[in-house]
Amino acid sequence: MRLGVLDVGSNTVHLLAVDAHGGARPLPAFSYKAELRLAELLDADGAIGPEGVDRLVATIADALQAAEDKGCEDVLAFATSAVREAGNADHVLGRVRAETGADLQVLSGAEEARLTFLAARRWFGWSAGRLLVLDIGGGSLEIAYGMDEEPDAAVSLPLGAGRLTSGRLPGDPPDATDVRALRRHVRAEIARTVGEFSRLGGPDHTVATSKTFRQLARIGGAARSAEGLYAQRRLSRASLEEWVPRLAAMTVRQRADLPGVSIGRAPQLLAGALVAEAAMDLFDVDVLEICPWALREGVILRRLDRLPRA
């Protein structure tokens, strides 16, 4: 069957269509993506403004039309932190349902972490042992750890690259005082969770998902996306420690000129780098591997697990 998964995230609305069968690896067939930056469209009361809701409804309608055009039998639609935390979430979900027919499932942060962990486990397999999985989104940071397909510990922190950029890093380039204050904030937030994971023992393998980690790995010398899913991509703490001060001194335009960095994501790269560096430092990770599968694949895999076997 051809299955679609519609991810309404803090940065983008992304439809991924895959050819899927129970017990088999889902094969990507089509991708539709639109950048909305919902995390940056919240008003002073934390609600998504009228223009943002209009754009979201129109974008979801376009994505669903694309799914129909590409022959998707079903579309799994979900939303993450930007909608989850919006002060008018019920209104937003109601309009989306009424005008597009999509019944968005709002995932909790812990659900995001668990589904992303499942995707990483399936990608790396049982031989990877105990996994520590990190994911930096637009609105939140997810951390999960475990030996099986269900993590033993999973948390979500309000440390997304988009959220932190819009709320704490004005200026282009940002003021050094703001960068330092954000660094302290990020490390204090992550440090509160470290004990929950360290009592479970050290990981055998640390992996990361998300566009932010892929871009940081790329500017550190990792393989280009054109080299395919199966090219091994790594990110070292030493590379991050070298790049963070350089990114802090750059304008958005200068960051966009870096390899693998788009103009749309360039404003968030510094905040993402500060979060990544802090997580690797506080969890004592020297090198991590980039996993090409993440939340969308986790949602698909969970759905496939529930299909009857032929």
Residue 19: inside a domain:
yes
Return the pLDDT at 38.
Answer: 81
Judge if 80 and 196 occupy the same domain: no
On whether both 71 and 155 belong to a single domain, the answer is: no
How far apart CA 213 and CA 265 sit, in angstroms, is: 12
In a domain, 306, yes or no: no
| Alpha carbon distance, N-terminus to C-terminus of the chain | 13
pLDDT at 18: 94
Q: What local confidence, expressed as pLDDT, does residue 122 receive? A: 96
Contact criterion met (CB below 8 Å) for 76 and 3: yes
Q: Specify the pLDDT at position 310.
A: 54
Are 148 and 75 found together in one domain? no
Whether the Cβ atoms of residue 21 and residue 4 lie closer than 8 Å to each other = no
Number of folded domains in the chain? Answer: 2
Digit-by-digit pLDDT tens for the chain (310 residues) are 899 999 999 889 999 999 988 777 889 999 999 988 887 777 778 899 898 899 999 999 999 999 999 999 999 999 998 899 899 999 999 999 999 999 999 999 999 999 999 999 999 999 999 999 999 999 999 999 999 999 999 999 999 999 999 999 999 999 999 999 999 999 999 999 999 999 999 999 999 999 999 999 999 999 998 898 889 999 999 999 999 999 999 999 999 999 999 998 999 999 999 999 999 999 999 999 999 999 999 999 999 888 766 5
CATH number at residue 175: 3.30.420.150
Clarify whether residues 160 and 219 are in a common domain: yes
Which amino acid is present at 219?
I
- Whether residue 171 lies inside any domain: the answer is yes
What 3-state class would DSSP assign to 103?
coil
Are 98 and 211 found together in one domain?
Answer: no
Q: Are residues 114 and 198 in the same domain?
A: yes
Residue whose C-alpha is closest to residue 19's, from 1, 5, 38: 1
User: What SS3 state is found at 27?
Assistant: strand
Tell me, yes or no, whether 305 lies in a domain.
Answer: no
Residues 152 and 56 in one domain: no
- Whether residue 254 lies inside any domain: the answer is yes
Same domain assignment for residues 89 and 167:
no
Q: What range does the domain containing 146 cover?
A: 109-295
Residue 127 forms part of a structural domain:
yes
The last residue of one of the domains, among 76, 91, 106, is 106
What are the beta bridge partners of residue 3? 18, 74
Final residue belonging to a domain, choices 106, 132, 161: 106
CATH number of 55's domain: 3.30.420.40
Q: Tell me, yes or no, whether 302 lies in a domain.
A: no
Domain final residue, candidates 106, 138, 161: 106
Query: Is residue 47 situated within a structural domain?
Result: yes
Helix ranges (DSSP H) in the chain: 50-69, 81-84, 89-100, 109-124, 161-168, 176-198, 211-219, 237-249, 252-256, 269-282, 295-305
| 134 shares a domain with 100 | no
Judge if 59 and 187 occupy the same domain. Answer: no
Same domain, 210 and 131: yes
Q: How much is the pLDDT for 229?
A: 85
73 & 137 share domain: no
**pTM for the full predicted model:** 0.94
pLDDT (0 to 100) of residue 46:
85
